[in-house]
Amino acid sequence: MAAARAALKATAYKGEPVIVMAANDLEAARVSSTILADRLKQAGFTVDLQVMDWAALLARRTKKIGWSVFGIHALGLDLSSPLTNSAINFACKDAASSGFMCDTRVVGLFDRFAREPDPDKRRDIVGEIQSIVYGEGLVVPFGQFAQPAAYRTSLTGLIPSAIPLFWNVEKP
């Protein structure tokens, strides 16, 4: 955190409030925004944590004003492809994309990835996408967690998955 404080002091930041939106009806999103707000405060930012329900957060997000950042969470399955990763899959004309980031290099790479049949070449394209997205700070991953699941022992046919799958399940 000392490095973050030093980096912030080296900028032109003058204490303007960073408005962090937090959804109070989605636990993982609430926790991620709360942790994000805390880390920003520790780094030296002036933080205004504003709590609302998820629908209000999404509606406010599209207005492009009155907020700075919010935390979200995603399942590994959602992040397994650039085409399904909503945090980085933006088209530069999509006004509702989170944060309204736009890098036309990434848009072209998504198209190349979608059309490329060779898995090795697709992996290289993903590397290019990640270099841009993380290098430019378009998305900042700041943690991960595992969410446990429990099922009745009498259920059979469960398919191990990151998300609940209800087909194939039998109950005696």
Structure tokens at 27: 């636990």
The pLDDT value recorded for residue 25 is: 94
The pLDDT value recorded for residue 97 is: 59
Cβ atoms < 10 Å from Cβ of 141: 10
Structure tokens at 89: 């899959």
Over its length of 172 residues, how does the chain's per-residue pLDDT go in tens digits? 999 999 999 999 999 999 999 999 988 889 999 999 999 999 999 999 999 999 999 899 888 789 999 988 877 777 788 888 877 876 676 545 566 677 888 889 999 999 999 999 999 999 999 999 888 887 888 777 777 778 888 999 988 877 778 889 998 8
The pLDDT value recorded for residue 157 is: 92
Q: Give me the domains of the chain, ranges plus CATH numbers.
A: 1-73 (3.40.50), 74-146 (no CATH)
What is the residue type of 34? T
Provide CB contacts within 8 A for 88, sequence distance 6+. Answer: 82, 106, 129, 133, 138, 139
Provide CB contacts within 8 A for 119, sequence distance 6+. Answer: none
The pLDDT value recorded for residue 100 is: 65
* The pTM of the whole model exceeds 0.85: no
For residue range 15-44, list pLDDT tens digits in order.
999 999 999 998 888 999 999 999 999 999
The pLDDT value recorded for residue 15 is: 96
Q: Name the pairing type of β-strands 69-70 and 46-52.
A: unpaired
For residue range 140-160, list pLDDT tens digits in order.
887 777 777 788 889 999 888
The pLDDT value recorded for residue 62 is: 81
Contact 67, 21 (CB under 8 A): yes
Query: What span, in angstroms and rounded, lies between the C-alpha atoms of 117 and 170?
Result: 38
